[in-house]
């Protein structure tokens, strides 16, 4: 989500004659876009502010805007603690950045923009052209969350669930495709909760599939409760919808899931997995896990390990529970820190073993890779396969924007390596 927001913030800044620069020390304005989900987000923010102050010591001070979820959650504290900050802008108010920049030239008073006005934001954004010409593009279709998991700040920083108008999304997708996008990743806090005038995520997928130049569709992040039968059917019907699904569960224990207020149990999650595998036999899964949530026992943790072994997630994102002020879970007694750390080590060891076993099984197999860009080494290209695995391919030809048939030759923890099957190169634009 933050990648999409950052790109749109850049588009907004360009509308008032600001331009992106790689020259850090000559910048006139900095926008630090923040995320509050992961641990130590606030600490990282103040570190970045300190770095700016150090680099611009004895120089003209640049405009500094803090945006995103940390800005929303801690606006008063930020403005009180850091006089270097000129404005704080919440995730539903960043469409006001052009106004902030223009006003700053006249009035240098500190500004706080943390109101929830999702409709106004997207009404503004639909009139701002995207200058992004990446092969794979994010497209926000839904924001906010009504689930209120006890550990999560998103309902408080992003507001209630909001679905963008159907035609507005399609028009933005057409614009992205006209700029060169071959893949679109539909995103939202609960992307599969999308519901606009009876149009659901499945309807969007079917409609986007009609765009000839668009070759691949993905979506993230999903909630198990919103994996409807029509969406599961779309995985079977739509060849452009890639066979990979990020479906967070957080714990393998139904007791812990109830304590988290996840609104589903383990059996319900497994039922969704079974239905998806029946609909799309080659589908793969990734997930999120919170290790050592308050009240997690040894038995609860073993259930999480068992789930990991059962599903064999090809990617997993695991974190120690981290208290978020203002959330219900923040009042609960935490698991002993040493025990928590040991559980995380054990979980990640098993997760890595599963991932490496999966990657090993891919060696000498054939895959189709959409090439997104060229690495610093001119003959090396970066792309992703159908399952969103990162792939490096060597070629003397310009492969950007093409779907390349390759043979996997090796792997490491993060990347697959491949050689082209030169007689099976497809032009994604054809």
CA distance 93 to 110: 16
Side-chain half-sphere exposure of 103, counting CA atoms within 13 A:
11
* Cβ proximity of 70 and 94 under 8 Å: no
pLDDT at 383: 97
Distance between CA atoms of residues 381 and 176, nearest Å: 22
**52-61, 78-87, 246-255: which is most confident:** 246-255
Residue 428's pLDDT band, with cuts at 50, 70 and 90, is very low
User: The tokens of 352 are what?
Assistant: 């890595």
Q: Answer whether CATH 3.40.50 is correct for domain 2-116.
A: yes
d(C-alpha 58, C-alpha 222), whole Å: 48
**Token pair 């070759």 is at which residue?**
215
Would you call 250 helix, strand, or coil by DSSP?
A: strand
- Residue ranges with strand state E in 95-135: 111-113
Highest mean pLDDT among 39-43, 56-60, 168-172: 168-172
Dump the DSSP string for 22-40.
Answer: S-GGG-SEEEEEE-SSSTT
Query: What's the confidence (pLDDT) of residue 75?
Result: 83
DSSP state of 241: B
430 falls in which pLDDT band (50, 70, 90)? very low
What is the per-residue pLDDT for 73? 78
On the question of pLDDT at 128 being above 90, the answer is no
CA distances from 127 to 4, 123, 175, 204, 252 (A): 16, 7, 12, 21, 44
Mean pLDDT to the nearest integer, 406-424: 89
The mean predicted confidence, pLDDT, of the chain is 90
What pLDDT digit, counting tens, does each position of 168-185 carry?
A: 999 999 999 999 999 999
pLDDT at position 115, please? 66
Output the six-digit token pair for 295. Answer: 């009240």
DSSP 3-state assignment of 342? helix
Q: What tens digit of pLDDT does each residue of 347-402 get?
A: 999 999 999 999 999 999 999 999 999 987 778 999 999 999 999 999 989 999 99
Local confidence band at 108 (pLDDT 50, 70, 90 cut-offs): low
Q: Indicate the fold that domain 366-426 takes in CATH.
A: OB fold (Dihydrolipoamide Acetyltransferase, E2P) (2.40.50)
Distance of CA 351 to the CA centre of its chain: 20
First to last CA, the chain: 30
Task: Say whether the peptide bond before residue 221 is cis (omega within 30 degrees of 0).
Answer: yes
Report, at the CATH architecture level, how domain 120-362 is classified. Answer: Alpha-Beta Horseshoe (3.80)
Angstrom CA distances, 231 to 140, 163, 222, 235, 238, stand at 18, 16, 11, 7, 10
37 Cβ contact partners less than 8 Å away, ≥ 6 residues apart = 69, 152, 153, 154
> For residue 206, which of 171, 180, 170 has the smallest C-alpha distance?
170
CA 283 vs. chain centroid, Å, equals 20
Using left for φ > 0, alpha for ψ between -120 and 50, and beta otherwise, residue 309 falls in alpha
Rounded to the nearest 5°, which phi and psi values hold at 299? -65, -40
Per residue in 54-84, is it b (16+ CB within 10 Å) or e — as a string? eebeeeeebbbbbbbbbbbbbbeebbeebee
The model's pLDDT over 19-30, given as tens digits with 9 standing for 90+, comes to 888 887 788 899
379 φ/ψ sector (left φ>0, alpha ψ -120 to 50, else beta): alpha
- Domain ranges in the chain are 2-116, 120-362, 366-426
Per-residue pLDDT, averaged over 402-408, amounts to 96
* pLDDT tens-digit readout, 220-262: 999 999 999 999 999 999 999 999 999 999 999 999 999 999 9
């Amino acid at each position: 989500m933050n990648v999409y927001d950052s790109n749109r913030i850049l588009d907004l800044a360009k509308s008032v004659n600001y331009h992106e620069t790689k020259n850090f020390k000559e910048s006139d304005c900095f926008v630090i876009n923040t995320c509050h989900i992961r641990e130590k987000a606030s600490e990282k923010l103040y570190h970045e502010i300190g770095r700016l102050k150090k680099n611009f010591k004895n120089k003209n001070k640049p405009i500094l805007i803090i945006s995103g979820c940390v800005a929303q959650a801690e606006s008063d504290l930020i403005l009180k603690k850091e006089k270097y900050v000129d404005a704080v802008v919440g995730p539903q108010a960043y469409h006001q950045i052009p106004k902030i920049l223009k006003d700053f030239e006249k009035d240098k008073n500190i500004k706080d923009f943390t109101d929830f006005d999702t409709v106004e934001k997207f009404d503004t954004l639909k009139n701002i052209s995207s200058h992004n010409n990446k092969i794979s593009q994010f497209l926000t279709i839904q924001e906010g969350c009504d689930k209120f998991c006890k550990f999560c700040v998103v309902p408080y920083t992003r507001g209630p669930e909001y679905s963008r108008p159907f035609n507005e999304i399609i028009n933005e997708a057409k614009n992205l495709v006209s700029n060169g996008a071959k893949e679109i990743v539909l995103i939202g806090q609960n992307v599969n909760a999308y519901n606009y005038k009876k149009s659901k995520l499945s309807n969007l997928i079917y409609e986007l599939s009609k765009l000839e130049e668009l070759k691949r569709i993905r979506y993230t992040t999903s909630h198990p409760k919103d994996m409807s039968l029509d969406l599961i059917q779309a995985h079977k019907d739509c060849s452009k919808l890639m066979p990979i699904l990020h479906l967070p569960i957080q714990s393998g224990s139904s007791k812990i899931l109830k304590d988290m207020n996840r609104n589903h149990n383990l059996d319900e999650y497994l039922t969704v997995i079974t239905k998806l595998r029946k609909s799309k036999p080659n589908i793969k899964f990734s997930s999120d896990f919170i290790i050592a949530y308050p009240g997690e026992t040894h038995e609860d943790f073993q259930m999480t390990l068992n789930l990991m072994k059962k599903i064999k997630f090809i990617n997993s994102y695991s974190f120690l529970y981290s208290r978020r002020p203002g959330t219900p879970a923040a009042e609960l007694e935490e698991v002993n820190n040493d025990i928590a750390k040991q559980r995380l080590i054990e979980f990640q060891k098993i997760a890595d073993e599963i991932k490496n076993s999966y990657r090993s099984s891919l060696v000498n197999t054939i895959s189709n890779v959409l090439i997104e860009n060229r690495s610093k080494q001119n003959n090396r290209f970066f792309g992703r396969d159908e399952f969103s695995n990162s792939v490096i391919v060597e070629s003397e030809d310009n492969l950007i924007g093409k779907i390349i048939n390759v043979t996997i030759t090796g792997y490491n923890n993060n990347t697959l390596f491949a050689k082209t099957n030169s007689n099976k190169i497809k032009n994604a634009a054809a």
